[in-house]
Chains A and B, each alone.
Chain A
Amino acid sequence: MRWKVKRVVDGECFGEPVVLNQYLSFFGEVDPAKGVVKTDAGEVGVAGKVLVFKGSRGSTVGSYIIYALRKNNVNPHCMIVKEVEPILIAGCVLAGIPLLVAEDFDDFSSILSSKKLVIHKEGEDYVTVE
Chain B
Amino acid sequence: MYLTPFQEKMLKGEFGWVYAKALEIIVRVGEALGSDRLVEITHAHVSGVSYSNIGEPGLEFLRDFYREKPRFRVYTTINPGCVDYGMLSQVIDNKYFSKQALIDEALVGMGGRPVFTCIPYYHRPPMPGEHLAWGESSAVIFANSYFGARTNREGGPLALASALTGFTYYHGFHDLENRVAKVLVKISPLIDNKPLSLAGLWIGENLRDVPMVKIREKPLYEVKALLAAMAASGSHALAVLDGITPKETYKTDIQETIALEPGDLEKYLGESPGPGGSVLGYVGCPHTHPEELIILRRLLKKYKEPRRGRLLITIPPELASTYSHIVRFLLSRRVDIALGTCPVVSVLKKKYDLMLTNSGKAYFYMRKIHGFKAGIAGLKEIVETIYA
Contacts and interface: CB of A to CB of B under 8 A. Distances in A.
Interface of A: 8-9, 23, 25, 27-29, 32-33, 38, 55-65, 67-68, 70-72, 84-91, 93-94, 99
Contacts of B364: 28, 58
Nearest to A83: B208
Contact of B29 (A23, A55, A60, A89): A89
B234 A68 contact: no
Interface of B: 25, 28-29, 32-33, 47-48, 50, 53-58, 60-61, 135-137, 140, 152-159, 172, 204, 231-235, 364-365, 368-369
Given A64-B48, A85-B153, A86-B172, A93 B25 contact: yes
A55 B154 CA distance: 15
Given A57-B204, A60-B140, A87 B154 contact: yes
Contacts of A61: 47-48, 50, 53-54, 135, 155-156
Given A28-B368, A85-B153, A90-B154, A57 B58 contact: no
A90 B157 contact: yes
A57 B368 CA distance: 14
Contacts of A99: 32
B55 A62 contact: no
Contacts of A90: 25, 29, 154-155, 157-158
Given A60-B156, A94-B25, A55 B235 contact: yes
Contacts, number: 121
Contacts of A94: 25, 61, 157
Given A58-B233, A68-B57, A89 B136 contact: no
A94 B25 CA distance: 7
22 contacts: A28-B365, A32-B57, A57-B204, A57-B232, A57-B234, A57-B235, A58-B234, A59-B232, A60-B137, A60-B154, A64-B48, A64-B53, A64-B156, A67-B58, A68-B58, A86-B152, A86-B155, A86-B172, A87-B155, A88-B155, A91-B157, A94-B157
Given A60-B155, A84-B32, A23 B57 contact: no
A67 B153 contact: no
A102 to B, nearest CB: 16
A58 B137 contact: yes
A33 B58 CA distance: 13
Nearest to A63: B155
Nearest to B236: A57
B53 A27 contact: yes
B47 A60 contact: yes
A87 B135 CA distance: 9
B129 to A, nearest CB: 20
Contacts of B48: 60-61, 63-64
A28 B344 CA distance: 9
A29 B368 contact: yes
A63 B25 CA distance: 12
Given A23-B235, A27-B53, A56-B235, A87 B153 contact: yes
A89 B155 CA distance: 9
A90 B32 CA distance: 10
B234 A59 contact: no
A64 B57 CA distance: 8
Contact of A89 (B32, B204, B235, B369): B32
B157 A85 contact: no
B157 A63 contact: yes
B57 A67 contact: yes
Most chain B CB within 10 A, of A57, A59, A60, A88, is at A60
Contacts of B156: 60-61, 63-64
A8 B154 contact: no
Contacts of B235: 23, 55-58, 85
Contacts of B47: 59-61
A67 B157 contact: yes
9 smallest A-B Cβ distances: which pairs? A63-B155, A71-B57, A90-B155, A60-B135, A87-B155, A68-B57, A57-B235, A64-B54, A90-B158
A8 to B, nearest CB: 5
A55 B330 CA distance: 42
Contacts of A25: 232
A35 B380 CA distance: 41
